[in-house]
Every structure is written in structure tokens, then in C-alpha cells.
Amino acid sequence: MTTRTARRARGPYLRAARYLVLFLFGCLFLLPVYALLVTSLKDPASVSVVTMWELPGKLSMDSFRAVWPKLQNGFVNSLILAIPASIISSILGAANGFVLAKWRFPGADFVFPVILFGMFIPYQAILIPMFRVIASMGLNRDLSGLILVHIIYGLPITTLIFRSYFASISEELIEAAKVDGAGMLRTFFFVALPIAPPAFAVAMIWQFTSAWNDFLFGIVLTRTEYWPITVALNNIAGAQTVPFNEAMASALLACVPTVLVYVLLGRFFMRGLMAGALKG
């Protein structure tokens, strides 16, 4: 057992070592980002896999210019998909979360885990029937099928987020509203919704990211001109014979919205993350 003085003497060294290791890992984590940035900004002629790690001689936006027309459609499609899907599934999640937290019905405690499982189910297990149904209803002729699917599969996580958020409302507050004459809907509007904006932020950000980053549903449930960006990206950059700079540039463009959201609104992203581990 070291004496306290010995430990104190080691203190600043340990701390410096910790910073160093954290910094090192930070660099390791950012290596791919570095490669991505550096390659996208290089002059296309000078790009080669072998010189991946070298800084660009001169900066050039040519790679982006080459790639954007091919990605543009997918980008717009993803926007049309992600924004309504996140809004609608958040609203529905708020209603569900409120009822499950504060206006329980018999069996509510059984219904909740049943809903929750929908969050973990592997998409493969429902993919074929899903495809059949969406195709037969003609919803795969545009984005409506995909939007519908993302709304529904987003319900478990948004319900979870709002349920844990609304659980913090005191029972007495709900009772006061009841005695004052408010039924379920009016209690929802006047008592729950006014405090809900942070939860909405969490739910919408998480759902937006989820919908934007999805690939499997995107490729199964849409046709060419309605492909979301993940599919467009894979088509451009997934082929084996694609120019390296275009692959990187398109990957970067595809990531911009979610990374932007993450950087600006990261703490809401974190809360969604924790909620999804059932630790919210």
C-alpha cells in the first residue's frame, strides 16, 4: 500500500498520462474522419489510395462537384423521409408515452414490454411480409411506404422516451387536473405537453438519425428515383471500381446532416441513446 504522499506525488503524472491516452484514442477514433476529409478535399487527379494519409497539395471541391448530382436525389428523398417520419412518430410516441405513464389502463404494464420488443426486432424477421404488403398496396411506388414503415418502427423508441419523461410528472398534478374537470385529452394538452419540448427534441433527433441512416428498408421498399441517400451512396461508392475520391466525397456528403445534428444537439442525442438502453 503506497503512502499518501507517494500517491500525491504521482498525481500529476497519472493525470498527464490519462490525458495522453485519451488524446491518443481521440486521434485513433478520428483517423477515418481524417481520411474522409482529406481525400474529399484533394484534387481528383492526385488522389490515390496509396497516398491516403497525405495532406492535400491544393484544396479542391471537384470531388464534391462530381458526386453531388448523383447524390442529390437521394439527399432530397431522405429529407422527405426523415423529417415527417420523425415528427409524426414523435407525436404518436408522446401520446402513447403519456397514457402508459399517467393514464394507465388495465394491462398497460403488459402492453409496454410488448411495444418495447418492437424496438429490438431484427428487420430481417419482418422484411419479406413487409415487402409483400407495401408492394401490394402500391406504397412502394413512392416514399409513402417507407415513411409509414419508419413511423411505425419508430413508435417503440419514441414511446419509451416520452414514457420515462412523463413519469416525472407528479401524480398529484394529474389528480388536480382531474378534480378541476380535465379529462384525458385536456390533461395531455394542458399538463403534459407544456413540459414536453425537451423530450420532443430527443425523440425527433433520434428518429431523424435513425431514418436517415437506415439502409435495409430503404432498398427494399422504394424504387430507383425514390431511393434514400444510403442506397444512393451504396450505389455510387459500393461498386468495386469507383474512384476513391468519389467514394469518400459521397460518404461525407451523406453524413453531413446527421453529424451536424449530432454536433449541435448532441446532448439530446445522448439522452436518446440512454433511453434506448432502457436506462433513460
Q: Quote the cell numbers at residue 58.
A: 491544393
Member of 166, 200, 226, 269 binding another protein (CB under 8 A): 269
Span from 25-33, 63-71, 79-87, 135-143 in contact with another protein (CB under 8 A): 25-33
Cell numbers placing 1: 500500500
Burial class, 105, CB count within 10 angstroms (exposed 0-12 / middle 13-18 / buried 19+): exposed
User: Could you say whether residue 96 binds another protein (CB under 8 A)?
Assistant: yes
Min CB(154)–another protein separation in Å: 11
Chain positions 225 to 254 lying near another protein, rule: CB under 8 A, are: 230, 233-234, 237-238, 244, 247-248, 251, 254
Q: Which of 8, 18, 65, 141 binds another protein (CB under 8 A)?
A: 18
Indicate the residue among 83 and 184 with the shorter CB distance to another protein.
184
| Shortest distance, position 125 Cβ to another protein, whole Å | 4
Contacts of 252 by beta carbon, 8 Å cutoff, 6+ apart: 36, 37, 40
Local structure of 164: helix, strand or coil: helix
> Least distance in Å: CB of 18 to another protein?
5
Amino acid identity at 265: L
Residues 48-77 that bind another protein (CB under 8 A): 48-50, 52-53
Closer to another protein by CB, 60 or 145: give it: 145
Residue from 71, 130, 139, 146 touching another protein (CB under 8 A): that is 130
Please, which of residues 136-195 interact with another protein by CB under 8 A? 149, 152-153, 155-156, 159, 170, 172-173, 175-186, 190-191, 194-195
Amino acid at 235: N
Least distance to another protein, CB of residue 228, Å: 10
- Closest C-alpha among 108, 104, 215, 199 to residue 158: 199
Give CA–CA dist 15/41, Å, rounded: 37
Beta pairing partners, 22: none
Q: Which residue stretch of 22-30, 63-71, 79-87, 138-146 sits at the interface with another protein (rule: CB under 8 A)? A: 22-30
Q: Phi-psi region for residue 2, left (φ > 0), alpha (ψ -120 to 50) or beta? A: beta
Write down the least CB distance from residue 141 to another protein, Å: 18
Interface with another protein (CB under 8 A), residue total 109
Site for another protein in 184-223 (CB under 8 A): 184-186, 190-191, 194-195, 209, 212-216, 220
Specify burial of residue 237 (Cβ count, 10 A radius: 0-12, 13-18, 19+): buried
100-119: contacts with another protein (CB under 8 A): 100, 103-106, 108-109, 111-118
Q: Residue 257: is it exposed, middle or buried by C-beta count within 10 angstroms (0-12/13-18/19+)?
A: middle
SS3 59: strand
In DSSP notation, 204-246 reads: HHHHHHHHHH--HHHHHH--GGG--HHHHHHHHHSSTTS-HHH
Give min distance, CB of 103 to another protein, in A.
4
